[in-house]
């Protein structure tokens, strides 16, 4: 399969692109790529005057299908440290077989797939001061609200194409959280919420108190000028690379028991249970993937898909994103206080070893919503997504939900 890229001068490849002229958005570039049976469009968009405030908007559709024939649109939001590429990763080594990705599986069914890559996705590795040459202090403002501001551009494009047919929105983890926050901000603008293993609202008073400690720490960190972290993106990618290049060598990463190999460290980071807040921003028992260091394996994840996804991580993560999440978990109602006005469809996907039942804490805040719950008690946080059978256990349920629960008559 050969991809043919066409750099376009006009933003008209998005048939809805006229909408950006009415707001703060400026389209910097547009690229159209043809993959087999699909058309993929990627736009770099600037929001406001600061040139750092650029993000990417994406669209995947089945080729030669007119907009009028496309089915229920969805805006897929990325998880922490990730970008829209996580939904374009195939099942083969390297993930280049796009036609086997989640985005392609949805588009193959005539669904109009849109996506977002946050501003961090456009920052080159190692470019931020003090080690690089770029002043990244603006990242102090890159919390959840900044993502909501960017998403408005994409929603405008969907509206211009589909008129009164409202999009669904959501994704995995942070993608579900920002999707939920978008609905909280404008509940009338969306028809569905893909709530994929997340926790933006917590009912336990004890857990809230522990999250408040994390919230206070991250708030102080930002105030001190420490506005980004490389732990989640760059750190995880580096650990993956070492596990591939020198799996049996002692890992140079600190914090592991003596004589821990790079391979063991990699499996341990992804499968070890979190101690919970305040020691960690993740709930107690949280595992990224189910697996075992002793058995040297992941129980459900495809190593190829997992590695392909991690290799596409953003280098940086804005601390403001983490702050907004844990402060919400501590009880801040900014991104959850208006969910009672949403009367659309919700597909809640619960990984038992991820956020687990904490996902369900938000259900009482949405009494008008039509909630469908899909559970697997044995899965870690990402196991639905990086499973070799994700087409059957994840993509197909999402497709059926979009067609039968979200789609408007």
Burial class (CB in 10 A: 0-12, 13-18, 19+), 182: buried
Query: Does an H or E element contain 400, and which?
Result: helix 396-401
Q: Using alpha carbons, list the distances in angstroms from residue 210 to 144, 220, 272, 363, 399.
A: 21, 16, 20, 22, 37
Nearest-10 crossing angle of helices 205-223, 319-329: 150
Q: What is the pLDDT of residues 159-180, one digit of tens each?
A: 999 999 999 999 999 999 999 9
Give the number of domains in the chain. Answer: 2
Helix (H, G, I), strand (E, B) or coil at 131: coil
Residue 302's nearest CA partner among 376, 385, 236 is 385
Q: What is the pLDDT of residues 95-111, one digit of tens each?
A: 899 999 999 999 999 99
196 shares its domain with 216: no
Give dist(CA 105, CA 127) in Å, integer. 35
Last residue of a domain, one of 317, 350, 384: 317
Q: What is the pLDDT of residues 17-51, one digit of tens each?
A: 433 334 589 999 999 999 889 999 999 999 999 99
Give dist(CA 47, CA 152) in Å, integer. 10
Position 12 scores a pLDDT of 38
Residue 4, strand partner residues: 34
Residue 153's nearest CA partner among 182, 188, 174, 173 is 182
Tokens at residue 43, please?
């736009």
- Look up residue 225 and give its DSSP letter: T
303 domain residue, yes or no = yes
DSSP per residue over 160-192, as a string? Answer: HHHTT-PPEEEEETHHHHHHHHHHHH-GGG-SE
Average pLDDT, the chain: 93
331 domain residue, yes or no = no
323 domain residue, yes or no = no
194 shares its domain with 213: no
230 domain residue, yes or no = yes
Give dist(CA 136, CA 254) in Å, integer. 26
324 domain residue, yes or no = no
194 shares its domain with 228: no
> Mean of the pLDDT values across residues 140-158?
97
38 shares its domain with 126: yes
85 shares its domain with 179: yes
Residue 54 is part of a domain; what is its CATH number? 3.40.50.1820
Position 23 scores a pLDDT of 58
328 domain residue, yes or no = no
125 shares its domain with 50: yes
229 shares its domain with 290: yes
22 domain residue, yes or no = yes
> Mean of the pLDDT values across residues 311-317?
97
Name the one residue in this structure whose structure tokens are 């907009």: 67
Domain boundaries, position 216: 206-317
193 shares its domain with 216: no
DSSP per residue over 45-59, as a string? Answer: EEESS-TT-EEEEEE
Q: What is the pLDDT of residues 227-269, one digit of tens each?
A: 999 999 999 999 999 999 999 999 999 999 999 999 999 999 9
> Mean of the pLDDT values across residues 133-149?
97
Position 407 scores a pLDDT of 87
229 shares its domain with 311: yes
Q: What is the pLDDT of residues 186-218, one digit of tens each?
A: 999 999 999 999 999 999 999 999 999 999 999
> Mean of the pLDDT values across residues 48-62?
96
Position 9 scores a pLDDT of 27
Residue of higher predicted confidence among 173 and 10: 173
Position 334 scores a pLDDT of 98
341 shares its domain with 297: no
Residue 74's nearest CA partner among 166, 209, 185, 197 is 166
329 domain residue, yes or no = no
Asked if pLDDT for residue 3 goes beyond 50, the answer is no
Q: Which residues does 185 contact at the CB level (< 8 Å), separation at least 6?
A: 148, 335, 338
Q: Do residues 199 and 361 touch, judged by C-beta distance below 8 A?
A: yes
12 shares its domain with 83: yes
102 shares its domain with 42: yes
């Amino acid at each position: 399969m050969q991809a043919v890229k066409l750099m376009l001068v006009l933003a008209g490849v998005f048939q809805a692109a006229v909408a950006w002229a009415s707001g703060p958005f400026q389209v910097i570039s547009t690229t159209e790529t043809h993959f087999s049976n699909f058309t993929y469009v990627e736009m770099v968009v600037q929001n406001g005057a600061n040139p750092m405030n650029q993000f990417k908007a994406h669209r995947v559709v089945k080729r030669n299908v007119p907009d009028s024939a496309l089915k229920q649109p969805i805006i897929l939001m990325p998880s922490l440290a990730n970008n829209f590429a996580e939904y374009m990763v195939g099942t083969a080594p390297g993930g280049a077989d796009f036609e086997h990705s989640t985005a392609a599986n949805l588009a193959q069914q005539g669904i109009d797939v849109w996506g977002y890559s946050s501003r961090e996705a456009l920052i080159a590795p190692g470019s931020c001061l003090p080690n690089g040459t770029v002043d990244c202090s603006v990242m102090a403002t890159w919390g959840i609200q900044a993502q909501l501001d960017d998403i408005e551009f994409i929603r405008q494009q969907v509206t211009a194409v589909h008129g009164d047919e409202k999009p669904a929105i959501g994704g995995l983890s942070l993608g579900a959280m920002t999707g939920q926050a978008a609905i909280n901000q404008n509940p009338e603008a969306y028809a569905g919420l893909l709530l994929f293993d997340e926790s933006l609202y917590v009912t336990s008073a004890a857990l809230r108190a522990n999250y408040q400690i994390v919230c206070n720490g991250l708030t102080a960190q930002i105030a001190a000028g420490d506005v980004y972290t490389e732990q989640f993106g760059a750190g995880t990618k580096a650990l993956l690379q070492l596990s591939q290049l020198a799996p049996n060598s002692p890992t140079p990463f600190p914090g592991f028991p003596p004589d821990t190999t790079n391979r063991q460290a990699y499996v341990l980071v992804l499968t070890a249970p979190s101690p919970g807040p305040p020691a960690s921003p993740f709930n107690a028992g949280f595992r990224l993937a189910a697996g075992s260091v002793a058995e040297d394996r992941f129980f459900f994840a495809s190593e190829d898909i997992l590695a392909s996804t991690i290799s596409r991580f953003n280098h940086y993560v804005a601390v403001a994103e983490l702050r907004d999440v844990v402060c919400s978990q501590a009880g801040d109602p900014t991104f959850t206080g208006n969910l009672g006005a949403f009367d659309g469809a919700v597909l809640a996907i619960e990984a038992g070893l991820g956020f687990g039942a904490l996902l369900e804490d938000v259900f009482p805040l949405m009494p008008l919503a039509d909630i469908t719950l899909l559970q697997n008690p044995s899965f870690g946080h990402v196991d639905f997504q990086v499973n070799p059978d994700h087409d059957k256990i994840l993509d197909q349920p999402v497709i059926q939900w979009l067609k039968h629960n979200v789609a408007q008559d």
